Amino acid sequence: MGRLPKQEKDQVDNLVESWRIKRKISRQELADLVGVHYQTMSYIERGEYAPTLALALRLAEALDCKVEQLFKLRVSVK
């Protein structure tokens, strides 16, 4: 995991928070399920931290969805 430069974080739509709310799971519960601190979940939900592939897969499993439903790459047209 690492902080992303603004231009990189803007290229990915992060839907973790909406899926968490849809599943009626608190941020703390989700953090516990995937093995991270609740504040790390906050950073991920705000798009300030990029999860590792393993963490993204654990998030998808915990939220009963596909990784592609949590993180979507924006296609920019130049």
Does some domain include residue 76? Answer: no
Does some domain include residue 73? Answer: no
Domain that holds residue 41: 2-64
Q: What is the per-residue burial (b if ≥16 Cβ within 10 Å, else e) of 33-57? A: ebebeeebbebbbebebbbeeebbe
CATH number at residue 24: 1.10.260.40
Task: Say how many domains are in the chain.
Answer: 1
Does some domain include residue 31? Answer: yes
pTM of the model: 0.81
Does some domain include residue 70? Answer: no
Place of tokens 């899926």: 19
For the stretch 24-53, pLDDT in tens is 999 999 999 999 999 999 999 998 999 999
Helix or strand run (H / E) with residue 49: strand 49-50
Q: What is the pLDDT of residue 9?
A: 47
